[in-house]
């Protein structure tokens, strides 16, 4: 069953890529049609983000690899929508 929406709690270093770079990188992945990144909290070295990825057929492993490749870390998967159609 393809994933249509994934909501992630992500921690990223402040000196890492911007939220714009994260959104652009994820939006270029196959099967992704929209990415929304919200900054929830900023401390001295990190930012806590909510990352919402939507599309027709999302590959979670590619999302995870992309976030980790940008220096981020997924704390939790907060919502998932899968659909057979």
Q: Residue 1 has what pLDDT? A: 83
Residues β-bridged to residue 51: 8, 37
Q: How many CB atoms lie within 10 A of CB 22?
A: 22
| CATH of the domain spanning 3-82 | 3.30.70.1340
pLDDT tens digits, the chain, 85 residues: what are they?
899 999 999 999 999 899 999 999 999 999 999 999 999 999 999 999 999 999 999 999 999 999 999 999 999 999 999 998 6
When computed from its CA atoms, the radius of gyration of the chain, rounded to whole angstroms, is 12
Q: Residue 84 has what pLDDT? A: 83
pTM score, two decimals? 0.94
Q: Residue 85 has what pLDDT? A: 65
């Amino acid at each position: 069953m393809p994933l249509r929406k994934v909501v992630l709690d992500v921690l990223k270093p402040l000196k890492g890529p911007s939220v714009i770079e994260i959104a652009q990188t994820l939006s270029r992945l196959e099967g992704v049609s929209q990415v929304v990144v919200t900054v929830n909290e900023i401390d001295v070295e990190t930012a806590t983000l909510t990352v919402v990825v939507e599309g027709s057929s999302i590959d979670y492993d590619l999302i995870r690899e992309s976030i980790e490749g940008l220096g981020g870390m997924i704390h939790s998967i907060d919502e998932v929508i899968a659909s057979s159609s």
